Amino acid sequence: MPSYETPEQRLARIRQYRTHPEPDLSLAFLSDTFKREVEKPFRQLGDLGALWNQFVPEHLLEHTRLESFSRGVLRVVVRSSAHLYELDRLLREGLKTQLIEHHRGGTLRKIMLRTGNID
């Protein structure tokens, strides 16, 4: 006696061989990029940001932005050349030494200033 299958059973059997994996619609592919471009720089600048806010005078603080910290070099963007000159003068007068002494993270050797947009 031949066994007959219902259309639903036949469809279920065929689907076993014709299934395609669901496409990955998550943003998981961004996790490495996020760690590299956001999380790591934030961790590196985290304690430096607090020190920067503590030691830099308030009238200069609003005209600066910490850009990056890599290989012992802190890069700072300053809004104008006048502010850059004043900040450079403060760094040479002892602000750099204070930041280096109080920094607990990686070795801070140098602070590079440049003018640019801080917004």
101: pLDDT strictly greater than 60: yes
- What pLDDT, on a 0 to 100 scale, did the predictor assign at position 41? 67
Q: Could you tell me the residue ranges of all domains in the chain?
A: 33-115
Global pTM reads: 0.64
**pLDDT category of residue 87 using cuts at 50, 70 and 90:** very high
For the residues 14-36, what does the mean pLDDT come to? 74
For the residues 57-84, what does the mean pLDDT come to? 92
Map tokens 């801080």 to a residue.
118
1: pLDDT strictly greater than 60: no
- What pLDDT, on a 0 to 100 scale, did the predictor assign at position 32? 77
DSSP H helical ranges for 27-106 = 31-34, 40-55, 58-61, 81-90, 96-102
Tens-digit pLDDT profile for residues 46-63 = 778 888 999 999 999 999
- What pLDDT, on a 0 to 100 scale, did the predictor assign at position 82? 95
**pLDDT category of residue 71 using cuts at 50, 70 and 90:** confident
Look at the domain 33-115 and name its fold: GMP Synthetase; Chain A, domain 3 (3.30.300)
Angle at 46 between CA 43 and CA 48, to 5 degrees: 125
